[in-house]
C-alpha cells in the first residue's frame, strides 16, 4: 500500500488545499485580532484558549475518532455513528464548559476571566467540536474535498467577525472578541450540521454502541488532550507567571510557526483513513511503512520552512505592529520545531491506526506531565526562553519515545 499519485490527487491534495485555505483564513483572523487587541488583551485570549484546547479532545469522548475508524474500515452506519458522536459532543462539551468557568472563578476570583472561559468554552468545546465531528464523517469516507469545505466555513465566518471587530470597536477588549467568536462559530456550526446531515441521511442514536465506542475513544481523548497540554501549557504558564503581554508576543510567534506546518498536518489527516484500514488488515508493519514515507517528505519540508521562518521573522512587527517586536526573536527560536513535531505525529498515527492507541496515549500523557513540569520550572527562571527550551525538549522526547514504542510493537508482532 504505497503513497502513489492517485492518492495524492484524490486524498492529500484536496485536503491540503482546504487546510491551506483554512490556514490563510485563520492567519488573517489572527493578524487582525492580535493587532487590534494588542499583546495584553490578546494574551488573555490566548490563556483561555490554551485551557479550552486541553479540554477539547474530551468533548465527545473520542467519538469522532472512533467514528472515523469505523467508517474507514467499511461501516455503513454513518447516520448512527454521526448521531452518537454529536450527542456526546453536545452533552460533554456543555458539562466541560460549565466546569471550566466555575473552576476558573474559584481559582482566579476574577469574574471577567470566568466569563471569558464560559463564552470561549461554548464556542470551542461545543460549536467547534460539532464542526470537528462533522469533518470526521467525510475523513472516514475519504471525501476530502467535502471535508475541506467544512474547514473553511467556520474560519471564514470568524474572519468576518474579526474584521467587524476592527472596524466597529474603538478600544476592543477580549470580551468583545469572545462574543463575536461565539456568534460566528454558532452560525457556521448550524450550517455545517445541516450540510453533513444531507450526506449521512437521518440521524439515529444507540446508547449501547456509544458506550462501547467510548472504551476505545477515551484513549483518543486522553492522547489528544495530552497533545494539547504539551502544545499549549507554555502559554498558560507564561500568562500567569510572566505577563499577558509577553504571552501575547510568544503566542503570536508560535501561531506563525504552527501555521507553517499546515501542509504537514493536512498530509497526515488525509492518510488517516488509509492507515486505519492498513492497520486493521495488515497490522503495524504497514502503518509504519506509510508513516516512514510521510516522515521523509515532512523532514525535508520542515527544514525548508524552518529556514524561511528564521529569515522572514523580522516581518512580524510590520504585520502585527511594533508592540510585537519581541516576537521576532521568539519566532526565530521556534523556526525548526516543525521537524520533531511532524516526526512524532507520524509515528503516533502509526501506533493508533494499528490499534495501539493505549500505548500512544500513555506516552503522550507522560510527556504532558513532563511539559507542565519543565514549563513551570524554566519559565520561572528564563521567561519565554524557558518555554522554548521546554517545547523543543518535549517534542524531541516524544519523537524518541514514539520511535522506541513502534520498534517494540514491530518486534512483538513479528514473533
Judged against a pLDDT cut of 70, whether residue 341 lies above it is answered with: yes
User: pTM of the predicted model, to two decimals?
Assistant: 0.74
Task: Assign 6 a pLDDT band (cuts: 50, 70, 90).
Answer: low
Taking only the tens place, the pLDDT of each residue in 150-190 is 778 888 999 999 999 988 877 788 899 999 999 999 999 99
Most confident among 211-220, 273-282, 349-358 (mean pLDDT): 349-358
Q: How confident is the model at residue 3, as a pLDDT?
A: 47
CB of 304 within 8 A of CB of 15?
no
Q: How confident is the model at residue 95, as a pLDDT?
A: 95
Taking only the tens place, the pLDDT of each residue in 304-338 is 999 999 999 999 898 888 888 999 999 999 999 99
Distance (Å, whole) CA 143 – CA 207: 27
Q: How confident is the model at residue 105, as a pLDDT?
A: 86
Q: How confident is the model at residue 13, as a pLDDT?
A: 64
Mean pLDDT of the chain: 87
Judged against a pLDDT cut of 80, whether residue 266 lies above it is answered with: no
Q: How confident is the model at residue 415, as a pLDDT?
A: 60
Judged against a pLDDT cut of 50, whether residue 398 lies above it is answered with: yes
Taking only the tens place, the pLDDT of each residue in 73-102 is 888 888 999 999 999 999 999 999 999 999
Q: Which residues contact 59 (CB under 8 A, 6 or more apart)?
A: 89, 92, 93, 96, 125, 126, 129
Task: Assign 378 a pLDDT band (cuts: 50, 70, 90).
Answer: very high
Distance (Å, whole) CA 244 – CA 357: 36
Taking only the tens place, the pLDDT of each residue in 111-151 is 888 999 999 999 999 999 999 999 889 888 878 777 777 77
Q: First CA to last CA across the chain, in angstroms?
A: 22
3-state secondary structure of 199: helix
Q: Is 287 or 18 the better-scoring residue by pLDDT?
A: 287
3-state secondary structure of 171: coil
Q: Is 244 or 206 the better-scoring residue by pLDDT?
A: 206
Task: Assign 1 a pLDDT band (cuts: 50, 70, 90).
Answer: very low
Q: Provide the residue count of the chain.
A: 415
Judged against a pLDDT cut of 60, whether residue 235 lies above it is answered with: yes
Distance (Å, whole) CA 260 – CA 336: 11
Q: How confident is the model at residue 7, as a pLDDT?
A: 53
Amino acid at each position: 500500500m504505497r503513497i502513489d499519485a492517485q492518492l495524492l490527487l484524490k486524498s492529500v491534495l484536496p485536503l491540503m488545499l482546504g487546510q491551506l485555505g483554512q490556514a490563510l483564513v485563520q492567519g488573517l483572523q489572527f493578524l487582525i485580532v492580535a493587532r487590534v487587541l494588542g499583546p495584553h488583551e490578546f494574551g488573555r485570549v490566548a490563556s483561555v484558549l490554551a485551557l479550552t484546547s486541553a479540554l477539547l479532545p474530551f468533548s465527545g469522548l473520542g467519538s469522532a475518532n472512533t467514528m472515523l475508524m469505523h467508517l474507514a474500515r467499511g461501516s455503513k452506519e454513518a447516520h448512527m455513528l454521526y448521531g452518537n458522536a454529536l450527542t456526546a459532543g453536545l452533552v460533554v462539551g456543555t458539562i466541560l464548559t460549565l466546569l471550566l468557568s466555575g473552576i476558573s472563578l474559584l481559582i482566579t476570583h476574577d469574574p471577567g476571566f470566568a466569563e471569558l472561559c464560559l463564552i470561549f468554552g461554548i464556542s470551542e468545546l461545543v460549536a467547534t467540536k460539532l464542526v470537528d465531528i462533522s469533518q470526521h464523517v467525510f475523513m472516514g469516507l475519504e471525501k476530502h474535498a467535502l471535508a475541506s469545505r467544512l474547514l473553511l466555513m467556520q474560519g471564514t465566518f470568524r474572519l468576518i467577525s474579526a474584521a467587524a471587530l476592527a472596524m466597529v470597536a474603538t478600544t476592543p477588549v477580549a470580551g468583545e472578541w469572545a462574543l463575536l467568536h461565539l456568534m460566528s462559530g454558532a452560525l457556521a456550526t448550524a450550517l455545517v450540521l445541516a450540510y453533513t446531515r444531507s450526506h449521512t441521511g437521518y440521524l439515529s442514536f444507540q446508547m449501547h454502541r456509544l458506550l462501547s465506542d467510548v472504551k476505545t475513544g477515551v484513549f483518543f481523548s486522553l492522547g489528544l488532550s495530552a497533545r494539547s497540554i504539551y502544545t499549549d501549557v507554555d502559554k498558560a504558564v507564561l500568562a500567569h507567571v510572566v505577563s499577558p503581554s509577553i504571552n501575547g508576543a510568544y503566542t503570536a510567534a508560535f501561531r506563525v510557526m504552527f501555521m507553517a506546518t499546515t501542509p504537514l498536518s493536512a498530509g497526515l489527516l488525509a492518510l488517516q483513513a488509509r492507515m486505519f484500514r492498513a492497520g486493521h488488515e495488515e497490522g503495524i508493519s504497514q502503518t509504519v511503512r506509510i508513516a516512514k514515507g510521510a516522515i521523509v517528505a515532512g523532514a525535508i519540508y520542515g527544514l525548508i520552512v524552518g529556514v524561511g521562518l528564521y529569515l522572514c521573522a523580522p516581518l512580524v512587527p510590520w504585520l502585527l505592529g511594533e508592540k510585537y517586536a519581541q516576537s521576532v526573536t521568539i519566532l526565530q527560536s521556534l523556526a525548526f520545531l516543525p521537524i520533531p513535531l511532524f516526526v512524532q505525529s507520524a509515528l503516533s498515527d502509526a501506533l493508533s491506526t494499528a490499534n495501539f492507541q493505549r500505548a500512544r496515549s500513555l506516552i503522550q500523557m507522560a510527556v504532558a506531565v513532563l511539559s507542565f513540569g519543565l514549563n513551570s520550572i524554566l519559565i520561572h527562571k528564563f521567561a519565554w526562553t524557558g518555554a522554548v527550551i521546554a517545547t523543543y525538549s518535549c517534542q524531541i522526547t516524544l519523537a524518541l519515545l514514539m520511535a522506541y514504542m513502534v520498534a517494540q510493537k514491530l518486534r512483538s508482532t513479528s514473533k
